[in-house]
Amino acid sequence: MKNISVISGISSQDLAKKVARKLGAKLVSVDHKMFPDGESKITFKSDIRSKTCVIVQSTHPPVDSHMMQALAMAHKAREAADVIMVIPYLGYARQDKEFLKGEIVTSKVIAKLFKSVGVSRLIVVDIHSKTALAHFKGKKVNISAVPVLVKYARRERLKDPLVVSPDLGGTDRAKKFAELMKTDYISLNKKRDRKTGRVNIEDSELDVKKRDLVIVDDMISSGGSIIKATEFLKRKKCGRIIVCCTHALLIGEAEKKILRSGVEKVISANTIPGKTSVADVSGIIADELSNA
């Protein structure tokens, strides 16, 4: 595609390269320096000569730095072209409403900032909350990494597989996953204490005995939700457990703790680069960009 160029965001260089290759678009590299106080200095290494420019930049930790870099790149790119922002993992999406009095709905602030620097279209992958995306007043789309993750789950040769959502909010995702796996699904009833952040699974009569399970979630941060779900399902005498999630933040020792709790393997998408990020979403992002 001649009229489109892809800017390789600081946090998503490999993914940006793959998207550009799939689109046959020019890749614009950036030079990034971080000052001792944490400020980013970003320089585009070549001019943008296309009508449209796509910036690929996930906002995993350091979340605020990656967010600021995304805004700065969009502002600069807008001087030359229409700007499509691809944020495979959009941080702050869990802060989509005022849960407790006085809380700031930061996803609303982020949406306004993207609009104000001239982003005309926002593309995200498996955003935690559609409400958060709705705050962006421009064209937006949320694409699903489920079909890509399913391909990897299939390779695990699970026996009588059952798809499990660790919470009721993830039921649609589990349903879609199960349809593609040609099997059934269940959802656990996870409760999170809004003050302490602690999670608990409410007990219920679920038959998972001897079945191999795929726990499916949009993201893993501390690993607390997956560990609680795993402990609960192990008590119900299930078979093997693997976990498929789109965004593996895996903060600190999260992966180790998850494996220690009884999970055999964590499979995630390359919306966030990392050891578990095997499922490549560049194809679905490129498809979305070429169909627009």
Query: Would you tell me which residues interact with ligand R5P (CB under 6 A)?
Result: 166-167, 169-170, 217-225
In the complex, the smallest distance separating the C-beta of residue 260 from ligand R5P, rounded to whole angstroms, is 15
Shorter beta-carbon distance to ligand R5P: residue 3 or 200: 200
Decide: helix, strand or coil at residue 289.
helix
Shorter beta-carbon distance to ligand R5P: residue 164 or 220: 220
Among 110, 85, 105, residue whose Cα is nearest residue 95: 105
Enter the DSSP assignment of 29: P
Shorter beta-carbon distance to ligand R5P: residue 9 or 166: 166
Shorter beta-carbon distance to ligand R5P: residue 231 or 287: 231
Residue listed under structure tokens 């079945």: 211
Identify whether 62 is preceded by a cis peptide bond (ω within 30 of 0): yes
Shorter beta-carbon distance to ligand R5P: residue 219 or 284: 219
What is the number of other CB atoms lying within 10 angstroms of the CB of residue 193?
A: 9
- Each as own residue / partner, the long-range contacts of residues 172-179 (CB below 8 Å, 24 or more positions apart, any chain) are 173/126, 173/144, 173/146, 173/216, 173/217, 173/218, 174/216, 176/144, 176/146, 177/146, 177/149, 177/150, 177/153, 177/214, 177/216, 177/244
Q: Which two tokens stand for residue 214?
A: 């795929």
In the complex, the smallest distance separating the C-beta of residue 225 from ligand R5P, rounded to whole angstroms, is 3
In the complex, the smallest distance separating the C-beta of residue 248 from ligand R5P, rounded to whole angstroms, is 10
Catalytic residue among 51, 190, 256, 257: 190
**Helix ranges (DSSP H) in 155-192:** 171-181
**Helix ranges (DSSP H) in the chain:** 13-23, 63-77, 106-116, 130-134, 146-154, 171-181, 224-235, 254-260, 282-291
In the complex, the smallest distance separating the C-beta of residue 125 from ligand R5P, rounded to whole angstroms, is 14
In the complex, the smallest distance separating the C-beta of residue 231 from ligand R5P, rounded to whole angstroms, is 13
| Residue 190 designated active-site | yes
Shorter beta-carbon distance to ligand R5P: residue 197 or 283: 197
Angle (CA) 241-247-251 rounded to 5° is 85
In the complex, the smallest distance separating the C-beta of residue 178 from ligand R5P, rounded to whole angstroms, is 17
Q: Which residues are catalytic?
A: 190
